[in-house]
Amino acid sequence: MEGIDDQDATMKRKNASPISRSGRFSEGPSADVAAFTESVSFDWRLWRQDLLGSMAHAAMLQRIGILSKKELRAIVKGLDQLGAEIAAGQFQWDAALEDVHMNLEAKLTRRVPAAAKLHTGRSRNDQVALDMRLWVLDEIHALLKAIRHLQKALVELGEANAEVIIPGYTHLQRAQPVALAHHLLAYVEMFQRDISRLVDCHRRTNVCPLGSGALAGSTLPLDREFVARQLGFVDQRGRPQITQNSLDAVSDRDFLVEFCAAAALLAVHLSRLAEDLVLWAGTEFNFIRLGDAFTTGSSLMPQKRNPDVAELARGKSARVIGNLVALLTLLKGLPMTYNRDLQEDKERLFDTADTIRATLRVVAAMLRDSRVNKAACAAAASDPQLLATDLADYLVRKGMPFRQAHHAVGTVVALAEKLGKPLNQLSLPEFQSVEKRFDRDVHSLFDLPRALARREMTGAPGPREVRRQLARWRKRLS
Ligand code: ARG
């Protein structure tokens, strides 16, 4: 039974007792329980938001007569000082004080006696809801910037290779020719939708929960609108945005789910782009050469240039998707209102934000350091089969119903295969042996630039349209 004794030893009582236990409790939690329940090891990252929230709350308490001007000044000065110490890495976080909120309040109260009034009309429940909202709002701003950088890198790579044509693929089979820039711009479109989802999430996150207390507001005449305005929770017309139900406000984490969902889809888009780069950098495609800084060698095979960075960009999407599922699972069975389970939201959020931002950064840098292999692209795009659909359209222009034209061209492709010739090397009599409406101009269909120039409607990969789209994005992103 030695093992059990050992366990008991780790369960020995600790003296430190956080503020939340003062009065009611005769002893502190065991070291094991304290380690199990603490969150300061990760939620210290909310310090800036926590200090801002305390400043706004203190200013409001002074307005309603709970703090004197002098007390407010002392508190604000103390909070400023804490911020400076944390920023300088001089603050000692104490796990015995559980979380960021109690660490900051305890330290402040030790220095500024008036800070004992700071928690008036406030609970950690509305405090943490506030901090998380402020943190997400900041993160969305940073993320939008990072996405725009990536979009710019895609547009620039497209502009630098505006004349390069590659096969477009379905089922990873060569389908029809497209401009390489058209392929890159497809991702720019996806990332723009990611931006709009984040902007939408910002709107719903931008609502102040402070004043909701533990769950049922406060008996004191708190000025919630004032606090909201102080913290920038305002709409476009400057009107304060505050939550309308205290129970909802302390237990709602919809904004985190929305953020993590938008991030998960963004991660999926990054993963797809990364997969294209892995393919393109592979020997079989060879469309692109990734910079040395973004490839690694093999410990065994000297010839290798492995696209590890792109592979990790693809792989990291797994954890971002996992974080979303973890959050949804965390929330689904919670009774109203606040439950400590909610503390588990933080690491999922931080991990999502860190992962997605790092991925955006390296993928943008990788694109900037990539070179398009024009010869390999030209060789792949010269496959005449890419223009089989153009042959069908040719017959349609001569009055043939498309289904029949499709059938006729299928027969032509089979004939070329049987004769062991590329499609464009069939003679006119051979074309006409399948369908009389093929005429002398049939071979001109295989001129690739002309084939692309036939695709100039909005959203199509023709050179004029692609240049127009590049210019539109260039303007939009500048
Ligand atoms: N660390 C806690 C969290 O992240 C803060 C709120 C604590 N509230 C409570 N009633 N224990 O959720």
Q: What is the pLDDT along the chain (478 residues), one digit of tens a residue?
A: 344 444 444 444 444 556 666 677 878 788 899 999 999 999 999 999 999 999 999 999 999 999 999 999 999 999 999 999 999 999 999 999 999 999 999 999 999 999 999 999 999 999 999 999 999 999 999 999 999 999 999 999 999 999 999 999 999 999 999 999 999 999 999 999 999 999 999 999 999 999 999 999 999 999 999 999 999 999 999 999 999 999 999 999 999 999 999 999 999 999 999 999 999 999 999 999 999 999 998 888 888 889 999 999 999 999 999 999 999 999 999 999 999 999 999 999 999 999 999 999 999 999 999 999 999 999 999 999 999 999 999 999 999 999 999 999 999 999 999 999 999 999 999 999 999 999 999 999 999 999 999 999 999 999 999 999 999 999 999 9
Main-chain phi, psi angles of 439, to 5 degrees: -125, -175
| 8 A C-beta contact, residue 289 and residue 370 | yes
> From CA 159, how far away is CA 359, in angstroms rounded?
23
Q: What angle do CA 229, 231, 232 make, to 5 degrees?
A: 65
Do 105 and 115 touch, CB atoms closer than 8 A? yes
| DSSP summary character for residue 99 | S
Which helix H or strand E contains 170, and what residues bound it? strand 165-170
For 180, residues 6+ apart whose C-beta sits below 8 A from its C-beta are 158, 161, 164, 165, 166, 287, 372, 377
Q: Is 171 a catalytic residue?
A: yes
Q: How far is the CA of 242 from the centre of ligand 1 (A)?
A: 21
Ligand 1 contacts CB of residue 146 (under 6 A):
no
- What pLDDT sits at residue 18? 60
CB-based contact 288:282 (threshold 8 Å): no
Distance 66 CA to ligand 1 centre (A): 25
Whether the CA torsion 234, 236, 239, 244 is positive or negative: it is negative
Query: Atom of ligand 1 at shortest distance to CA of 342?
Result: 12
| Binding site membership of 125 for ligand 1 (Cβ less than 6 Å) | yes
Annotated catalytic residue 269: no
How many angstroms separate the CA atoms of 134 and 48, rounded?
9
pLDDT at position 304 is: 83
Query: What length does the chain have?
Result: 478
Name the DSSP letter for residue 178.
Answer: E
Among 19, 43, 99, 103, residue to substitute to test ligand 1 (most atoms within 8 Å of Cβ): 99
The token pair at 419 is 């004769």
pTM: 0.93
d(CA 41, ligand 1 centre) in Å: 14
Ligand 1 lined by 338 (C-beta under 6 Å): yes
Q: Give pLDDT, residue 25.
A: 81
- Please identify which of the residues 22, 26, 171, 299 carries the catalytic annotation: 171
Q: Whose CA is nearest to atom 10 of ligand 1?
A: 125
Q: How far is the CA of 52 from the centre of ligand 1 (A)?
A: 18
Say if ligand 1 is within 6 A of residue 124 CB: yes
Catalytic residue among 298, 406, 443, 478: 298
pLDDT score of 299: 85
Tell me, what's the pLDDT at 435? 96
